[in-house]
């Protein structure tokens, strides 16, 4: 709302104020994602640890009595929960941190069917789409550079899944794997958030509002922003339209 109003204020858009507002939005988003992720993680962790502990018990039905098994289960739960709390989900990953000079091809690969989650990273402006278990990561400015690494990250993820299901003995590795997966998992949880919360992107703030202040990059940014936001909810379209 503040960003929208600033476009109609006398004197033009105030860069400083809009930047500060975007920080508030980012902070709110971070908190929301953390909490959402923590909740999902807690649920998942309980299920998985229970599964693992049961499997352990199955493997060593004679060595461990019921009490030890319970303790180990509790230890697993506690340890991983602890790790979950401490670990900062590093969801600001970018496949193209350095934005190149204006790109020729501005196609942005975003799918918006019902089982797709699209997240736009405020800092790096990487659009990440999680579509039926596959991740596509695109940068608004350069699709080509992103594609190969997106592919590799998708492949990596698949591999991780298979890795963890095939190896029961090495709990340590399992949790490490879970940590790697966690980074991508958090993106899944954003689906409701992007649809319902009041996110706005730096692209939409600056791209569509700063026409004339920027150099010729402004046009490209505007196109980028409009396309990038095409995949998001109708409310973001409303901001871009203004």
Partner 1 sequence: MQWCFSQVKGAIDDDVAEADIISTVEFNHTGELLATGDKGGRVVIFQQETENKNPPQFRSEYNVYSTFQSHEPEFDYLKSLEIEEKINKIRWLPQKNAAQFLLSTNDKTIKLWKISERDKRPEGYNLKEEDGRYKDPNSITKLQVPVLIPMDLMVEASPRRVFANAHTYHINSISVNSDNETYLSADDLRINLWNLEITDRSFNIVDIKPANMEELTEVITAAEFHPHQCNTFVYSSSKGTIRMCDMRASALCDRHTKLFEEPEDPSNRSFFSEIISSISDVKFSHNGRYMMTRDYLSVKIWDLNMESRPVETYQVHEYLRSKLCSLYENDCIFDKFECCWNGDDSVVMTGSYNNFFRMFERGHRRDVTLEASRENSKPLQVLKPRKVCAGGKRKKDEISVDSLDFNKKILHTAWHPQDNIIAVATTNNLYIFQDKVI
Contact residues for partner 1 (CB under 8 A)?
2, 10-12, 14-17, 19-20, 23-24, 27-28, 31, 99, 125, 141, 202-203, 206-207, 210-214, 217, 221
Cα 182 to Cα 164: distance, rounded to the nearest angstrom: 13
Q: How many CB atoms lie within 10 A of CB 220?
A: 18
In degrees rounded to 5, what are phi and psi of residue 29?
-65, -45
* Residue 182: CB minimum distance to partner 1, A: 23
| Residue 93: Cβ-neighbour burial (10 angstroms; 0-12, 13-18, 19+) | middle
Least distance CB 151 / partner 1 (angstroms)? 24
Mention every residue, 6+ apart, whose C-beta is less than 8 A from residue 126: 93, 94, 95, 96, 120, 137, 138, 139, 146
| Least Cβ distance, residue 232 to partner 1 (angstroms) | 16
Residue 201 in tokens: 């992107």
For residues 17 and 158, which CB has a smaller minimum distance to partner 1 in the complex?
17
Instruction: Show the tokens assigned to 70.
Output: 């319970």
Residue 39 neighbours by CB distance under 10 Å: 11
- Rounded to a whole number of angstroms, the minimum distance from the CB of residue 24 to partner 1 is 5
CA–CA separation, 189 vs 204, rounded Å? 23
Comparing CB distances to partner 1, the nearer of 138 and 221 is 221
Taking the complex as a whole, how short is the minimal distance between the CB of residue 146 and partner 1, in angstroms? 15
DSSP string, 89-124: P-----S--S--S--S--------STTEEEEE-TTT
Q: To the nearest whole angstrom, how small is the minimum distance from the Cβ of residue 28 to partner 1?
A: 6
Residue whose CB is less far from partner 1, 207 or 231? 207
């Amino acid at each position: 709302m503040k960003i929208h109003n600033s476009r109609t204020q006398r004197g033009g858009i105030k860069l400083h104020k809009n930047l500060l507002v975007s920080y508030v939005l980012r902070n709110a988003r971070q908190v929301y994602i953390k909490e959402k992720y923590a909740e999902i993680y807690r649920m998942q962790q309980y299920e998985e640890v229970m599964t693992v502990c049961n499997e352990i018990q199955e493997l060593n039905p004679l060595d461990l009595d019921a009490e030890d098994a319970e303790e180990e289960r509790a230890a697993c739960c506690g340890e991983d929960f602890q790790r979950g709390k401490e670990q900062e989900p590093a969801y600001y990953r970018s496949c193209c941190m350095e934005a190149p000079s204006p790109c020729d091809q501005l196609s942005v690969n975003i799918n918006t069917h019902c089982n797709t989650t699209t997240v736009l990273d405020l800092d790096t402006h990487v659009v990440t789409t999680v579509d039926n278990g596959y991740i596509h990561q695109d940068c608004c400015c350069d699709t080509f550079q992103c594609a190969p690494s997106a592919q590799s990250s998708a492949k990596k993820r698949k591999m991780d899944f298979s890795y963890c299901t095939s190896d029961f003995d090495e709990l340590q590795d399992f949790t490490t794997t879970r940590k790697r997966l966690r980074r991508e998992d958090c993106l899944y949880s954003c689906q409701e958030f992007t649809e319902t919360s009041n996110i706005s992107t730096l692209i939409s703030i600056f791209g569509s509002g700063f026409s004339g202040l920027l150099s010729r990059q402004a046009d490209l940014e505007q196109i980028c922003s409009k396309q990038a936001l095409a995949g998001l909810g109708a409310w973001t379209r409303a901001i871009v339209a203004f």
